[in-house]
Amino acid sequence: MAENKRWGMVVDLDRCSGCQACVVACQAENNVPLNTQDIVLQARSIQWIRVERYWSGIDQNDPTKVKAGYLPVMCVQCTNAPCEPVCPVYAAYHNQEGLNVQVYNRCVGTRYCANNCPYHARYFNYWEREWPEPLNFQLNPDVTVRSKGIMEKCTFCVQRIRRAERRAKFEGRTVRDQEFTTACAQACPTGALVFGNLADPTSLVSQLAKDPRHYRLLEHLGTDPGVYHLKKVDPNYHGEESGH
């Protein structure tokens, strides 16, 4: 693999069944706070990856035409990230491997970044979150626990990236394709989520990103996301083919 890195992901919507395994796996890996009922009711729950569900074919007279489509959405790690330039304290910055990284200790909670993110991928900690003992034993020591007033979002499991890179360095080699993956992709039963290095043309994720079904969310905004979605296939779809 080339040393050049651009971590990215492919989400195959035709494989995704909406099962939510990715969502819980992410919560477990990344110390995402508990979303209690009052928090969900206030629409302030934190899910670094969420599975959006869209209705289509709604016909009041014929429920059989209704379809529900699933769209997993996480931070798409834009190359031209709208969240980064608005941060007054450089808590949101771009690293050498294509990640939009959030430095929690710099964050002062202006929420400008969330306001500027067109993907609703950034989440603010409105409260000091708690894990009643001994539930805190489960917390991943590789991942910082965020406190009140801090913005957080998907990191592409940066701790796993670093672990794999360190291991590769100790062994005098480069990181191999599919040697490791993110928590969401590792759990995903249907194989809808594939993570890897987009800068390596031989990687699985690069190959999948060339699929004719590929598109990127809100691509017209020019954010150059690092996440490619592959269109859902509906053999009975008679509308105009969407896309660009």
Partner 1 sequence: MAASRRDFLKIAGVSSAGAVAFGGCMIPARDMKVESPTRIPEDLVTGRDNWYATAGTRGNGIIVRVMEGRALKVEGNPDHPVNQGKSNAWDQALVQLLYHPDRYQRPMRLNGARGSGSYSDLSWNDALAQAAEAIRGATGGRLVLMTPPLSGPSLVAVEAFVRAFGGSHLTLDLNDDAVYRAAVQRVFGADVLPDYDLPRANTVLSIGADWLGAWGNPVRQGIGYGQFRQGKATRGYLIHIDSRFSVTAANADEYIPCRPGTEGLVALSIAHALIAGNFGDRGVYPSGGAQALAAFSGNQVAQQTGVPAERITAIAQRLGQNGPAVVIGGGSAGAHTNGLFNLVQILNLNILLGAVGAPGGVRLNPAPPTIPNVQSPFRSGASSFTTWQGEMIRLRQVGSNAVVLVYNANPVFALPPSLGVRDVLLNAGRVISFSTLPDETSELADLILPSHSPLEEWGVEAPAAPPGFQVVTFKQPVVNRVFDTRQFGDTILDLMRAIGGEVVRSVPFPTIRDGARLFAQPLFDRRAGSVTADSFDLFLNGVQQRGGWWSTTTTQAATPRPVGFASAPEPARIAGDDSYPFFLQPFMSPTLGSPEGAQLPWLQQTPDPVTTMAWGTWVEINRRVANQLGVKEGDVVVVESPNGRIEAPVYINYGTPDWTVAIPVGNGHTAGGRWQKGVGVNPIGILADLTDQQTGALAWAATKVRLTRTGRSVPLSKLEGYVPAVQLEHAEALKITNKDS
| Interface of this chain with partner 1, residues 66 to 95, rule: CB under 8 A | 66-71, 73, 95
**The tokens of 94 are what?**
């771009």
What is the Cα–Cα distance from 63 to 49, expressed in whole angstroms?
A: 30
Based on the shown chain and the rule CB under 8 A, indicate whether residue 210 belongs to the binding site for partner 1: no
Question: Rg of the chain over CA atoms, in angstroms?
Answer: 19
Task: In angstroms, give the least distance from the CB of 133 to partner 1.
Answer: 5
DSSP SS3 for 56: strand
Of the two residues 127 and 215, which places its CB atom closer to partner 1 in the complex? 215
Of the two residues 104 and 112, which places its CB atom closer to partner 1 in the complex? 104
Phi, psi of 183 (to 5 degrees): -65, -40
Q: What is the residue-wise DSSP string for 115-173? A: HH-TT--EEE--S----TTTGGGGS-TTSPPP-TT-EEE--SSHHHHHHHHHHHHHTTS
Task: In angstroms, give the least distance from the CB of 236 to partner 1.
Answer: 6
What is the Cα–Cα distance from 181 to 199, expressed in whole angstroms?
A: 16
| Interface of this chain with partner 1, residues 102 to 141, rule: CB under 8 A | 102-105, 120, 130-141
Among 4, 80, 115, 162, binds partner 1 (CB under 8 A): 162
Task: In angstroms, give the least distance from the CB of 198 to partner 1.
Answer: 18
Residues in binding contact with partner 1, number by CB under 8 A: 103
Among 6, 9, 10, 21, binds partner 1 (CB under 8 A): 21
Task: In angstroms, give the least distance from the CB of 101 to partner 1.
Answer: 5
Q: Within 10 Å of residue 66's Cβ, how many Cβ atoms?
A: 12
User: Which segment (58-66, 76-84, 170-178, 199-207) binds partner 1 by CB under 8 A?
Assistant: 58-66
What is the Cα–Cα distance from 209 to 204, expressed in whole angstroms?
A: 8
User: Which segment (1-9, 81-89, 107-115, 232-240) binds partner 1 by CB under 8 A?
Assistant: 232-240
Task: In angstroms, give the least distance from the CB of 72 to partner 1.
Answer: 10
Based on the shown chain and the rule CB under 8 A, indicate whether residue 18 belongs to the binding site for partner 1: yes
Strand partners, 195: 9
User: Which segment (6-14, 74-82, 169-177, 196-204) binds partner 1 by CB under 8 A?
Assistant: 6-14
Task: In angstroms, give the least distance from the CB of 240 to partner 1.
Answer: 10
Question: How many C-alpha atoms does 242 have within 13 Å on its Cβ side?
Answer: 11
What is the Cα–Cα distance from 110 to 179, expressed in whole angstroms?
A: 37
Based on the shown chain and the rule CB under 8 A, indicate whether residue 235 belongs to the binding site for partner 1: yes
